[in-house]
């Protein structure tokens, strides 16, 4: 799925090194990948569910491995049969 796919809208661009929901202390320097994964998960959980979406998709930003684009994937339209 690419950025031009209908039903997919860019919500935010997030630098996971800047997310700081917990006091990590020296753990951030010792285990950066672990801390970034936890922080990204906490960020995604805080997104409001009332935006009319059924899923959130994340994709690495082209310029860095620490920057991610967050997309909202709209609910599919129900078709009557």
- Tell me the pairing of strands 8-15 and 67-74: antiparallel
Question: Confidence class of residue 4 from pLDDT cuts 50, 70 and 90?
Answer: low
Buried residues in 40-78 as b, exposed as e (16+ CB within 10 A):
beebeeeeeeeeebeeeebeeeeeeeeebbbbbeeeeee
Is residue 80 domain-resident?
A: no
Is residue 81 domain-resident?
A: no
The total number of structural domains in the chain stands at 1
- Going by C-alpha positions, the residue among 30, 35, 77 that lies closest to residue 52 is 77
pTM > 0.85: yes or no: no
In this prediction, residue 37 carries a pLDDT of 93
In this prediction, residue 9 carries a pLDDT of 86
Is residue 37 domain-resident?
A: yes
């Amino acid at each position: 799925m690419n950025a031009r796919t209908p039903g997919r809208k860019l919500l935010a661009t997030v630098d996971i090194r800047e997310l700081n929901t917990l006091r990590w202390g020296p753990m951030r320097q010792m285990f950066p990948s672990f801390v970034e994964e936890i922080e990204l998960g906490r960020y995604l959980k805080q997104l409001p569910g009332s935006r009319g979406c059924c899923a959130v998709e994340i994709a690495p930003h082209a310029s860095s491995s620490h920057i991610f684009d967050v997309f909202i994937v709209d609910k599919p339209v129900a078709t009557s049969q």
